[in-house]
Amino acid sequence: MELSHDSLALPPGFPADASLPAVVVELGERFAGAGHELSLVGGPVRDLFLGRDSGDLDFTTDADPDAAEAVGAGWADATWDVGRRFGTIGFRKGGWQLEVTTYRAEQYDPESRKPQVAFGDSLEDDLFRRDFTVNAMALRMPEMALVDPHGGVRDLAAGVLRTPGTPEDSFSDDPLRMLRAARFASQLGFEVAPEVEAAMTAMAERIAIISAERVREELVKLVCGAHPRRGLDLLVRTGLAEHVLPELPALKLETDEHHRHKDVYDHSLTVLEQAAQLEAEYSPERPDVVLRLAALLHDVGKPATRRFEKGGAVTFRHHENVGAKLVRKRLRALKFDNDTTKAVARLVELHMRFYGYGDAGWTDSAVRRYAHDAGDLLPRLHALTRSDVTTRNRRKAETLAHAYDDLERRIAEISEAEEMAAVRPDLDGEKIMALLGLRPGPVVGRAYRHLLEWRLDEGPHEADVAEAELRRWWAEQPEAQEGAEG
């Protein structure tokens, strides 16, 4: 978390440079003055030990939501209570946002997707009900005393995820915690304890009661973590991926006895890792969930398109088109927004376009079309295509890299000369209708698309040349011929 000038040093046991903003102790003093307990809890405490920026200030208390809201009244700059029914009241003080939640337990009915919330009455019970020991630590306020009944500091040092109680009880209470284990493996680079992985494997089917929206949020955090391979491998090993992202384990194709194609699953994880490394150069946001999902899923069409040819070769013809359809279907099922779904599917569809460029070379028309079809996704397509090279053959890898360098150079040159990023036909719809005497309708759209294709093939033209091309095209259309006959 970003520390302000009024930060306070933490007691022995924490890293020497660990500190908290004074606002945390101020709130603790107000709760103590009102006769209530207050503790900083969970992720913020864990991240203090790890030296990570948590971004959150989460607290737990014995006060019910009404009492917590009353404590903050007159002190906080603003208060919100959208989480009241879950026991959470939020405060803003200065530049800080603080959320205070009543001691609680969340359990699932075996057939329900929604948690049943029950308030608890002690900090120790609240910590016992949390997901993992590294998140089951607290700092009592205002004295800043560490409470760690389940060995969270020990497990942080070991880089291992364990549950405060039995993993079976924990995952039964909230099956989403199984996905959270994979997410923390990705974000923190931790291993899961053997008994935790065993429980995840045995209980994988229980994830089905969790809503698609909550599953999606965990998958996004996992894919955007610093070590996504660890989290994804865990999902596949335990069988959880079969329920939340079945296209991923499907990539574990049985390799043919002569090993004529690479391990598609391992290749996909490597492409994801390489794409993440290119984000700083190509991506509009970091981490870039669109690029990372496209990298992970770019070959999901291969299982359905694998063919063994007579000579023993293995082919995956048109796997990019099949894959794009599968990606759209899966991301919609996970309730991703339309923009993300369309962008990821489009990148999957386009990821094979580059191949062949280095062998035969492309005309300026083909370069224009490549850039135009990618549109705003072009930088991400650059990153995805470069990441898709995982060959161990250094000469082949260098050849592909040089070819793509050349393609990027040509795109930049043509873009500068023609403002290709904003390519439009030389005539707009109104001019088309005026020249041909048409009313708005499908024919105008066809004329527009023809001029756009012509523009991409041959570059920009003066208006009179474009008008001549439009009239030439129009003379060949059945509507023009019908009008002449009439």
DSSP secondary structure string for all residues of 417-430:
HH-GGG---SS-HH
Please indicate whether residue 367 or residue 328 has the higher confidence score (pLDDT): 328
Strand, helix or coil at 132? coil
- Give me 227's structure tokens: 């070590």
Strand order in the sheet with 58-61: 78-80, 88-93, 96-102, 58-61, 38-41, 138-141, 145-147
Same fold for the pair 1-158 and 160-245: no
At residue 187, the pLDDT reads 96
| Segments making up each domain of the chain, as ranges | 1-158, 160-245, 280-422, 429-485
Which pLDDT score, from 0 to 100, does residue 5 have?
Answer: 37
Side-chain-side CA neighbours of 233 within 13 Å: the count stands at: 15
Residue 286 has pLDDT above 70, yes or no: yes
155-184 per-position pLDDT tens digit: 999 999 999 999 999 999 899 999 999 999
What does the alpha-carbon distance between residue 410 and residue 253 come to, in Å, rounded to a whole number? Answer: 37
CATH number of 1-158: 3.30.460.10
The SS3 of residue 342 is helix
Q: Check residue 2 and give its pLDDT.
A: 39
Contact 305, 268 (CB under 8 A): no
pLDDT of res. 366 = 87
User: Residues 235, 323, 209, CA angle at the centre, nearest 5°?
Assistant: 40
> For residue 262, what pLDDT band results from cuts at 50, 70 and 90?
low
Percent of the chain surpassing pLDDT 70: 90
Task: For residue 153, give the amino acid letter.
Answer: V
Terminal C-alpha separation, the chain? 76
What is the per-residue pLDDT for 53? 76
Look at residue 4 in the predicted model and tell me its pLDDT.
Answer: 39
- Under a CB-based contact definition with an 8 Å cutoff, are residues 297 and 228 in contact? no
Whether 215 and 278 have beta carbons less than 8 Å apart is answered as: no
| Predicted pLDDT of residue 355 | 86
Residue whose pair of structure tokens reads 């304890």 in the numeric block: 193
Locate tokens 């295509």: which residue? 385
So what's the pLDDT on residue 486? 45
pLDDT band at 266, cuts 50/70/90?
A: very high
Is residue 117 pLDDT above 70, yes or no?
no
Estimate the crossing angle of helix 378-387 against helix 289-297, to 10 degrees.
Answer: 40
Q: What is the pLDDT of residue 250?
A: 94
Output the pLDDT for position 1: 37
Q: Judge whether 33 and 96 are in contact, CB under 8 Å.
A: no
Mean pLDDT of the chain: 88
Give CA–CA dist 289/182, Å, rounded: 17
Q: Is residue 273 over pLDDT 60?
A: yes
How confident is the model at residue 153, as a pLDDT? 94
44 within 8 A of 54, measured Cβ to Cβ? yes
Distances (CA, A) of 183 to 187, 235, 339, 355: 6, 10, 24, 34
Q: Which residues contact 436 (CB under 8 A, 6 or more apart)?
A: 447, 470, 471, 474, 480
The CA distance from 33 to 123, in Å, is 18
Q: What is the DSSP letter of 74?
A: T
Confidence band (pLDDT; 50, 70, 90) for 447? confident
Q: Which residues contact 95 (CB under 8 A, 6 or more apart)?
A: 4
Q: Name the band, by pLDDT with cuts 50, 70 and 90, for residue 475.
A: confident
Token pair listed for 48? 């203090």
Mean pLDDT calculated for residue range 373-391: 94
For 135-180, give the DSSP string. Answer: GS-EEEETTTEEE-TT-HHHHHHHTEE--SS-HHHHHHH-THHHHH
Residue 117, H or E segment: strand 115-119
Look-up of token digits 């290709």: 420
pLDDT, greater one: 349 or 479: 349
Supply 123's token pair.
């900090």
* Angle 463-442-341 from CA coordinates, rounded to 5°: 100
* 373, β-bridge pairs: none
pLDDT in tens, 25-36: 999 999 999 999
Q: Which amino acid type is present at position 64?
A: D
Q: What's the average model confidence in pLDDT over 393-420?
A: 84
Note the maximum CA span of the chain.
95
Average pLDDT rounded to a whole number, residues 349-367: 83
Q: What is the DSSP secondary structure assignment for residue 313, as one 8-state letter? A: -
The listed CATH number (1.10.110.30, 2.40.50.100, 3.90.1150.10, 3.30.1220.10) that belongs to domain 160-245? 1.10.110.30
Range with top average pLDDT, 55-59, 213-217, 388-392, 469-473: 213-217
Highest mean pLDDT among 119-128, 345-354, 409-418 belongs to 345-354
Buried b (16+ CB within 10 A) or exposed e, 335-360: ebeeebbbbbbbbbbbbbbbeebbee
**Least trusted range by pLDDT, from 177-186, 213-222, 426-435:** 426-435
User: From CA 75, how far away is CA 411, in angstroms rounded?
Assistant: 57
- In the predicted model, is pLDDT for residue 257 greater than 60? no
pLDDT, tens only, 408-428: 999 888 887 666 555 677 788
Q: How confident is the model at residue 484 (pLDDT cuts 50, 70, 90)?
A: low
Tokens of 183: 């997410």
